[in-house]
Amino acid sequence: MSILPIVTAPDYRLKQKSQPVLEFTDQTRKFMDDMLKTMYHEDGAGLAAVQVGVLKRILVIDIKDHDSVERPKDFYPLFIVNPEIIEKSEGLITAHEGCISVPEQRIEVTRPESIKIRYLDYHGKSQELKANDWLARVIQHEYDHLEGKLMIDYLSNLKRDVVLRKLKKLKNNIV
């Protein structure tokens, strides 16, 4: 397994809508394994394929150390391909989020408290999952990436511009 390079804002790819995965191959699964290794390396809770420069509708998530729900041992990691959010709760919750592609920023985002998704798993099998609390938040955050949306897009234009200037400065200092 390889650690993949992370794409950070304001890279234009993060604003693109990702395309569905049309077939599952060994290469697809190897890529998902590489995404997972990269997410662990970056100490993330989730990662979308676009965050490593691939515009495919693939997410990996592992919050086993932070999940408020008792789950089977083999529940995590989650490999979520071509997800659709099919239900959202009316109840909303606001919390701070961070993002591997938006380094050194914590932003308050309001999201539905629970969701239900339909997706394909690691083997291409159709699944449905009802998620709440932290898992629902992580799925929605990563799902936003597939739609070309970042957590900073929830900010006012003024605040978003300030964050983008900080990110450009950070990027220029690293390069």
Q: What is the pLDDT of residues 91-119, one digit of tens each?
A: 999 999 999 999 989 999 999 999 999 99
Task: Give 68's pLDDT tier (boundaries 50, 70, 90).
Answer: low
pLDDT, greater one: 103 or 74:
103
Distance (Å, whole) CA 138 – CA 131: 10
Q: Which of 23, 128, 142, 147 is catalytic?
A: 142
Q: What is the pLDDT of residues 7-56, one digit of tens each?
A: 999 999 999 999 999 999 999 999 999 999 999 999 999 999 999 999 99
Flag whether 141 is marked binding.
yes
Task: Give 166's pLDDT tier (boundaries 50, 70, 90).
Answer: confident
Please give the structure tokens belonging to residue 152.
């900073």
Flag whether 96 is marked binding.
no
Flag whether 99 is marked binding.
yes
Q: Which domains occur in the chain, in start order?
A: 12-174 (3.90.45.10)
Query: Is 142 one of the annotated active-site residues of the chain?
Result: yes
104-135 burial: b if 16+ Cβ within 10 Å, else e? ebebebebbebbbbebbebeeeebebebbbeb
